[in-house]
């Protein structure tokens, strides 16, 4: 029998000589020791509270004393005191107050859980209804502690939320009538940079649905050449929300307003629309929201908008109609042909794409299958604003032409994500 390997690494070890398994064991061992010391510090704090040490030195509270003694923030001191008093007996006046979280205290002293686990469990215990019997409450605490010993703090927090929701139904008798409408609100305003800023809140059901819809759209999306997505989480969420709005506007059976479904109207001069002028009046969305020429030209490609082309005196020269966009039959044909975004390596399926005019509609490009290709919102903007282009190949399928800085030969590329699997039968 092979003797077990002793991975314990003593202080003062030359870490560059330790093997990888010993390094992992050492970091875990020392972290558990830190937790044990934190638990011991909690015992000291509980005794300081019991004996009135802060008041002896002229402090009103224990966290105030810690702030000056340990040079920690008042918030950190408050958290330390809360943990200490929850995990240890202490004296308050003439009464001895027992620990409110005995199972949690034991796991903390063993070094099995972190302060984050401890805080999560205490948050849940603090919200358990007072009608829950003490024995039952202790049982719930042990459940959370057992989970904390083998899971991340976030898992303990989620479990605590589910437990509280269940207890609220079983123990809390609410006199409030059931709400006819859930509490939801949304406020918005335009800032000087033509950005719509908003804030609001949703009820639990609507919030969960919103989170479910946004989450897959906000995943990091590496570029075609494999470079990682450099957008922040907030930026990815913003892009996902914009994509969700675009998808809803194009596919949903929306209610009417003033006799027609919601549409976006863009007004600009004919020269600007054709790209021949950059000094005309700025394009306006819905008559009052300024937009750039590039944004207007992008919208004129496929989004359900009504382009109002104005003359030099502001007169309406042409009021376009939605029929210039791909018809339902054409969309179905594009779905069958392209199956999704045609940009190389993109994974957006057909129902999350827009029909792009290869030769722009405002430049006389027809709305027929030979001049249409499916693009997701991100790559639609890239084609309009970047150096990529699209052409129709001899076999009637669109292909993307990379910019010269990416490929000097500008060899056409196709998206193989949705291509049928080709098996070698030879």
94 plus 233 within the same structural domain: no
**Is 335 inside a domain boundary?**
yes
- Residues 34, 157, single domain; the answer is yes
Specify whether 377 is located in the same domain as 393: yes
DSSP notation for 289-355 = EE--HHHHHHHTTSSSEEEEEE-TTS-EEEE--GGGSPPHHHHHHHHHHH-B--STT---BGGG-EE
Residue 117 domain-assigned (yes or no): yes
Q: At what angle do helices 74-87 and 102-109 cross, to 10 degrees?
A: 110
Q: Are residues 100 and 234 in the same domain?
A: no
Q: Indicate if 145 and 208 belong to the same structural domain.
A: no
Residue with the two structure tokens 């030209």: 297
Q: Is 259 left (phi over 0), alpha (psi -120 to 50) or beta?
A: left
Does some domain include residue 419?
no
- Give the chain's radius of gyration (CA, Å): 32
2 in any annotated domain: no
What is the pLDDT at residue 129? 87
Specify whether the CB–CB gap between 344 and 415 falls below 8 A.
Answer: yes
End-to-end CA distance of the chain, in Å? 54
Tell me: do 369 and 244 sit in the same domain. Answer: no
| Cα distance between residue 215 and residue 341, in whole Å | 20
**Half-sphere exposure of residue 197: CA atoms within 13 angstroms, side-chain side:** 6
Same domain, 26 and 147: yes
> Which residue numbers in the chain have pLDDT < 70?
1-13, 170-182, 205, 223-226, 250-325, 362, 419-426
Under 8 Å CB-to-CB from 313, ≥6 apart: which residues?
A: none
**Domains in the chain, number:** 4
The CA distance from 399 to 137, in Å, is 64
Pair 58, 204 in one domain: no
Asked if residue 418 belongs to a domain, the reply is no
Question: Are 363 and 297 in the same domain?
Answer: no
H or E element that contains 96: strand 95-97
**What is this structure's pTM?**
0.49
Distance from C-alpha of 383 to C-alpha of 375, rounded to nearest angstrom: 9
Residue 121 tokens read as: 């469990």
- What would the two tokens of residue 331 be? 């969309």
Note whether residue 395 is domain-resident.
yes
Structure token digits, residue 293 = 């020429």
**Confidence (pLDDT) at 290:** 65
Contact (CB, 8 A) for 81 and 49? yes
State residue 219's pLDDT score: 82
- The answer on 116 and 98 residing in a single domain is yes
Cα–Cα distance for residue pair 218/215, rounded to 1 Å: 5
Residue 421 domain flag: no
pLDDT of residue 405: 82
Residue 104 phi, psi dihedral angles, 5° rounding: -65, -40
Give me the pLDDT at residue 247, please: 76
- Identify the pLDDT of residue 298: 65
pLDDT value of residue 72? 92
* Residue 356 to residue 400: CA distance in whole angstroms: 13
- Of 9, 172, 38, 163, the C-alpha closest to 110 is 38
Instruction: Compute the distance between CA of residue 107 and CA of residue 109 in angstroms, rounded to an integer.
Output: 6
Mention every residue, 6+ apart, whose C-beta is less than 8 A from residue 59.
Answer: 65, 68
H helix runs in 51-152, sequence order: 53-56, 62-69, 74-87, 102-109, 115-127, 134-148
Comparing CA positions, the residue from 131, 121, 202, 112 lying closest to residue 160 is 121
Task: Quote the pLDDT of residue 35.
Answer: 95
Q: Is residue 407 part of a domain?
A: no
Residues 101 and 128 in one domain: yes
Token couple for 122: 């205490």
Backbone angles phi, psi at 174, to 5 degrees: -95, 135
Tens-digit pLDDT profile for residues 76-114: 999 999 999 999 999 998 899 999 999 999 999 999 999
Q: Which domain holds residue 336?
A: 326-401
Do 147 and 233 lie in a common domain?
Answer: no
Q: How many residues does the chain have?
A: 426
């Amino acid at each position: 029998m092979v003797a077990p390997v002793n991975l314990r690494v003593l202080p003062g070890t030359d870490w560059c000589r330790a093997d990888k398994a010993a390094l992992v064991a050492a970091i875990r061992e020392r972290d558990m020791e830190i937790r044990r010391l934190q638990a011991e510090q909690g015992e000291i704090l509980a005794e300081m509270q019991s004996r009135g040490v802060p008041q002896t030195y002229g402090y009103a509270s224990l966290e105030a004393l810690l702030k000056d003694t340990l040079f920690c923030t008042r918030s950190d001191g408050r958290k330390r005191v809360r943990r200490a008093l929850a995990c240890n007996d202490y004296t308050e006046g003439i009464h001895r107050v027992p620990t409110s979280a005995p199972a949690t205290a034991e796991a903390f002293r063993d070094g099995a859980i972190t302060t984050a686990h401890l805080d999560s469990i205490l948050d849940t215990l603090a919200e358990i209804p007072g009608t829950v019997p003490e024995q039952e409450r202790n049982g719930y605490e042990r459940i959370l502690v057992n989970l904390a010993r083998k899971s991340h703090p976030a898992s303990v927090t989620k479990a605590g939320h589910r437990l509280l929701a269940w207890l609220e139904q079983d123990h809390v008798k609410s006199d409030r009538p059931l709400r006819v409408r859930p509490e939801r609100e949304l406020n918005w305003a335009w800032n000087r940079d033509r950005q719509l800023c908003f804030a609001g809140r949703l009820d639990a059901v609507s919030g969960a649905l919103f989170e479910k819809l946004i989450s897959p759209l906000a995943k990091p999306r590496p570029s075609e050449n494999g470079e990682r997505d450099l957008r922040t989480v907030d930026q990815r969420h913003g892009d996902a929300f914009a994509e969700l709005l675009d998808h809803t506007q194009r596919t949903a059976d929306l209610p009417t307003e003033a006799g027609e479904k919601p549409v976006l109207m863009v007004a600009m001069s004919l020269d600007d629309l054709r790209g021949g002028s950059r000094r005309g009046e700025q394009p306006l969305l819905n008559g009052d929201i300024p937009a750039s020429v590039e944004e207007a030209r992008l919208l004129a490609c496929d989004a359900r908008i009504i382009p109002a082309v104005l003359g030099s005196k502001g007169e309406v020269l042409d009021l376009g109609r939605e029929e210039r966009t791909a018809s339902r039959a054409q969309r179905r044909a594009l779905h069958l042909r392209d199956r999704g975004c045609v940009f190389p390596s993109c994974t957006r399926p057909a129902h999350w794409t827009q029909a792009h005019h290869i030769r722009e509609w405002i430049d006389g490009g027809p709305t027929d299958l030979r001049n249409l290709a499916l693009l997701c919102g991100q790559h639609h903007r890239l084609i309009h604003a970047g150096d990529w282009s699209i052409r129709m190949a001899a076999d009637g399928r669109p292909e993307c032409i990379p910019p010269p800085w990416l490929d000097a030969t500008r060899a056409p590329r196709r998206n193989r994500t949705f291509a049928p699997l080709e098996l070698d039968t030879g």
